[in-house]
Amino acid sequence: MRDRENGFIEIDRRDPGYRPKDQRVRDCRAVELRLTDGELVEQSARCMDCGIPFCQGARSAVGCPVKNLIPEFNDQVYHDQWRQALELLLAGGCFPEFTGRICPAPCEASCVCGLYKAPVAIRQIELAIIEKGFERGYMQPRPPAKRREEKIAIVGSGPAGLAAAHTLNRSGFRVTVYENAAHPGGILRYGVPDFKLEKWVIERRIGLMEAEGIVFETGVEVGADISYRFLKKRFDAILLTGGARRPRNLEVEGRELEGIHFAMPFLTQHNMRIGGEAVKAEAAILAGGKDVVVIGGGDTGSDCVGTSIRQGARSVTQLEILPEPPPLRSEETPWPLWPDQRRDSSSHAEGCMRRWSVQTKAFRGTDGKVKELCCTDVEWVATKDGAKSPREIEGSGFSVKADLVLLSMGFAGPGRNRLVEERGLALDERGFVRRDADNMTSEPGVFVAGDMSRGASLVVHAIQDGKQAAAGIGRYLAARGDA
């Protein structure tokens, strides 16, 4: 075993890599490999056990949003104490099997080791700990020792809703989660492709939560199938975790042409097919045999790239209006901030042309179907207030062939919600549901968490927000004299 005292000097970072490209594009299974136990011990030895662990975010706005005890569980892995490492890990995040697979690891961006060399492979260690916990039988149902009488309704079963349900249930509250889809999981199940997060991982966790006493009611639309009056009469508090559902549109000439879709329905349909759910033929969005253009350079756009390739697209092009990031951390985002730098996903390596600083001016088509995009290059110039905005470069116009266009430009708001509209819940200036410090809305006893109020963000942020909302509900019931 290497000496941990000098591990960060003597040992280089090691990532597990991916399954061979020619194999993984033929299926929808997870693409990322796993490090061996020996490799994990070596990686944990790279942890510097800092006096101020910026990685865990306990003393700053950077690092892990769920405040994972990272140096502590690294030390337990180094000493082959996996059960102890698991207990430390679970003291922070609720679902490390999710974040260990899909989190972009802000903890690693603020790792002190990253000042000099590559940061510690924290995400890989986190994933190994939780999976070792399941493999060795450490992850057993842990229902509360004592049940309270108070009942909580959670509307939505994405990461925020699941985290709140987990936290409230552990505190003894009786929790029922309502989900309008056929299965729980929200964006984890329907938005994230299997090649990043296989759905058995979600089902395993849902089974554990059910064994701990949480009730899941699926195929139920609150506001239609059941009313606010029903919920208010039967529950002591209501938590809304409906997500950000109104995608940002691209309102240019030709937008009405057939073949232009938002990214999330495309990804949702693919996940439904993989999960055995029916998709209406007339509504099907398929990339097979088509020239696909993805507009938007974020993670969702990358997921569209990988999904299109697996569906047999003839070509895939990804366009981004922002300039190409530098290959290494930009000086404008120094450590320990989240670095502005280029990130290439496994999907990009599978066959995708990427272009930055591109603005789509119009769509063109024949017989009502999209056939090409009319684009220009842009340059980013400073405005009077110091911000930067895109300016079209004269004479730079070009076209891109497309039979399918997927808009992946983020979300503009939570979308329409019957309960929000019925109760007239206050919204903020962005159109998201307003809340106080305890995550309570303008309606007493009605709370909100996740993207529905904070805006579209990382899964790990939604998990932390769900935990925060659960704590707020506990304080509300205590002040009311019910808890």
pLDDT at site 3: 58
* Domain membership flag for residue 111: yes
pLDDT confidence bin for 4, thresholds 50/70/90: low
Q: What is the mean pLDDT of the chain?
A: 94
Inside any domain, residue 146? no
Interval 265-321: pLDDT, tens:
999 999 999 999 999 999 999 999 999 999 999 999 999 999 999 999 999 999 999
Average pLDDT over residues 172-189: 97
Q: Is residue 141 part of a domain?
A: no
Claim to verify: residue 363 and residue 427 sit in the same structural domain:
no
Residue with tokens 């974040």: 99
Same domain, 264 and 377: yes
pLDDT band at 483 (very low <50, low <70, confident <90, very high): very low
Query: Do 263 and 360 fall into the same domain?
Result: yes
Higher pLDDT, 59 or 127: 127
Instruction: Reply yes or no on whether the pLDDT at 58 is more than 80.
Output: no
Tokens, residue 319: 């366009």
Residues 377-414 have pLDDT tens digits of 999 998 888 788 999 999 999 999 999 999 999 988 88
Same domain, 308 and 340: yes
Q: Is residue 30 part of a domain?
A: yes
Query: What's residue 273's pLDDT?
Result: 97
On whether both 210 and 98 belong to a single domain, the answer is no
Q: Does 52 reside within a domain?
A: yes
User: Which of 409, 438, 470 represents a domain boundary (last residue)?
Assistant: 409
Model confidence at 1: pLDDT above 50: no
Residue 89 is part of a domain; what is its CATH number? 1.10.1060.10
Say whether both 221 and 332 belong to one domain.
no
- Report whether pLDDT(174) > 50: yes
Range of the domain at 310: 249-409
Shared domain for 265 and 397, answered yes or no, is: yes
Averaged over 202-216, what is the pLDDT?
A: 98
Do the domain assignments include residue 49? yes
Asked whether residue 376 carries a pLDDT value surpassing 70, the answer given is yes
Same domain, 10 and 129: yes
Are 395 and 421 within one domain?
Answer: no
Residues 429-473 have pLDDT tens digits of 988 999 999 999 999 999 999 999 998 899 999 999 999 999 999
Domain boundary among the residues 381, 409, 437 is at 409
> Domain for residue 204, yes or no?
yes
CATH number of residue 398's parent domain: 3.50.50.60
Q: Same structural domain for residues 25 and 128?
A: yes
The stretch 343-367 carries a mean pLDDT of 96
Mean per-residue pLDDT, 175-198:
97
Q: How many structural domains does the chain have?
A: 3
Same domain, 177 and 285: no
Q: In what order do the strands lie in the sheet with 151-155?
A: 215-218, 174-179, 151-155, 237-240, 446-448
55 and 118 fall within a common domain: yes
Which residue, of 376, 409, 442, is where some domain finishes? 409
Is 390 contained in some domain? yes
